[in-house]
Chains A and B, each alone.
Chain A
Amino acid sequence: MSVSHHLTDETLQDYSVGSLSVAMETLVACHLTVCQHCRDRATLADQIGGEMFDQFEAAPMAQTPEQLLKQASLLSGSHAPKVTPQPKRSFKDVPRPLAQFLPAELDELDWRRIAPGIKQINLSEQHRRMGAFKLLHLAPGVVLSAHSHNDRELTYVVKGSYQDEIGRFKAGDIADLDGEVAHQPVVDTDEPCIALIASHSPVKYNGLFGKIMQPFVGI
């Protein structure tokens, strides 16, 4: 897998700090799985967090380290929480951070048809205002309505490819867009494109058709 579209520094920094939603974190972790370049940059953001600890005023602690260790040794007996490792899901073409949200392989999923050539799986039970988290299955030749976003939209290409004003996005690529960017993705090969999408706020469609479509597509 050769990756050519990466995460922005500000998204990686948000990820490092821990202020992204579950949906956004999943997208970021999917891309990090297949992209050493962004993994290195994510590590750097963590390094900065660590370094900033040193510039911090320490708050007074109620307990001494000795007291804590005594407590820890009491806990480590029968009271220690049992760790039962979850069996790890793995599906073809799916990075593990996404696999945990899926019940089956990509081609066995219960895709819901929402428009000609467009099927989706909604991964979020959240209200739409909280933003979208969904897997889209786009047939060859499908053109999505031109749209933009209020805050941030992440798209991770799981399979296939699409093209828009920004460039060509293939499996493993991530489109990390902020509110100002409007785009109109087109599936540009004979293969369907499967894309994972997370956004903080509902998209704004530019055309009348898009406005009519929005309630159905919901992206």
Chain B
Amino acid sequence: MNTSATTQPKQRNDDAAALRKRMGDNLVAIGERKDEAAFADVYSYYAGRVKSFLMGKGMTEEISEELTQEIMITVWRRAESYDPAKAAASTWLFTIARNRRIDYLRGNSRIEVELDDEMLDVDNTESDSQEKYVDDEQAAVRLNEALEKLPHEQRQVMHLSYFRGQSHGAIAKWLDLPIGTVKSRIRLAMQAVRISLQSDGGNL
């Protein structure tokens, strides 16, 4: 496992892009030819992170370990459905881990859009059609930068929401803030990140 931390932003950005490429390639290799070395690399990097995500969300170490094993087996079995053009490996892992946690907690699956729904509409909104987000190696770099640049109080609520708190209400109680303040910090953080990823906007 490569854990060497660096404080140089340039270096860190190169790392973010390289990591994204390496993990994406790994998932493709697992999907195409059940590449065990590629799986070992994905496992070494993500399994421990998935586990601490689950523990941060309040699960015991034992259950977190068990669910992480299941999640990693899912990665092994379903990697052929991974499309590197659509999502980063980290995004794919995150959604699998999140969904498995929901399954476990309430015994039914997360309610999601079904992509073969006849009602599925594509590009029908009155909003600005310019607003498209990039999702490639550059995106990993921009996302990283945007998250780093967030004011402390926004980064804190984002972190608590993704990896600690149960809900915005719980975070508000935890930080002893009105819920409206928590929501507006989340909103501002999301906006900042979104602007950084707009195909033209973030490219200053």
B127 interface residue per 8 A CB criterion: yes
Chain B nearest CB, measured from A29 CB (Å): 5
- Residues of B114-149 whose CB lies within 8 A of A: 114, 117-127, 131-133, 135, 139-140, 143-144, 147
B187 interface residue per 8 A CB criterion: yes
Interface size on B, residues (CB 8 A): 88
Contact with B along A27-53 (1 / 0, CB 8 A): 011001111110111011111111111
Instruction: Say which residue of B110, B114, B131 sits within 8 Å of A37 (CB atoms).
Output: B131
Report how many A-B pairs have Cβ atoms within 8 Å: 230
Interfacial chain B residues near A57, Cβ < 8 Å: 48-49, 52
B85 interface residue per 8 A CB criterion: no
Interfacial chain A residues near B16, Cβ < 8 Å: 54
Q: Is the CB of A68 within 8 A of B72?
A: yes
CA distance A55 to B186 in the complex (A): 18
Interfacial chain B residues near A37, Cβ < 8 Å: 125, 127, 131
Q: Is the CB of B48 within 8 A of A61?
A: yes
Q: Is the CB of A22 within 8 A of B108?
A: yes
Asked, given contacts A1-B121, A61-B47, whether A32 binds B113 with beta carbons under 8 Å apart, the answer is yes
CA distance A50 to B197 in the complex (A): 15
A206 interface residue per 8 A CB criterion: no
Q: Is the CB of B163 within 8 A of A56?
A: yes
Q: Is the CB of A33 within 8 A of B113?
A: yes
Interfacial chain A residues near B40, Cβ < 8 Å: 65-66
A72 interface residue per 8 A CB criterion: yes
Chain A residue at minimal CB-CB distance from B147: A51
Q: Is the CB of A36 within 8 A of B121?
A: yes
Interface size on A, residues (CB 8 A): 70
Chain A nearest CB, measured from B126 CB (Å): 5
What secondary structure prevails in chain A residues at the interface with B?
helix
Interfacial chain A residues near B101, Cβ < 8 Å: 18
B21 interface residue per 8 A CB criterion: no
Q: Is the CB of A95 within 8 A of B52?
A: no
Q: Is the CB of A53 within 8 A of B114?
A: no
Q: Is the CB of A36 within 8 A of B123?
A: yes
Chain B residue at minimal CB-CB distance from A200: B169
Interfacial chain B residues near A119, Cβ < 8 Å: none
Chain B nearest CB, measured from A196 CB (Å): 12
Q: Is the CB of A10 within 8 A of B43?
A: no
Chain A residue at minimal CB-CB distance from B40: A65
Q: Is the CB of A6 within 8 A of B194?
A: no
A9 interface residue per 8 A CB criterion: yes
- Of B64, B88, B89, B139, the most chain A CB neighbours within 10 A belong to B88
Per CB-CB distance, the 3 closest pairs between chain A and chain B, nearest first, are A58-B48, A50-B90, A50-B91
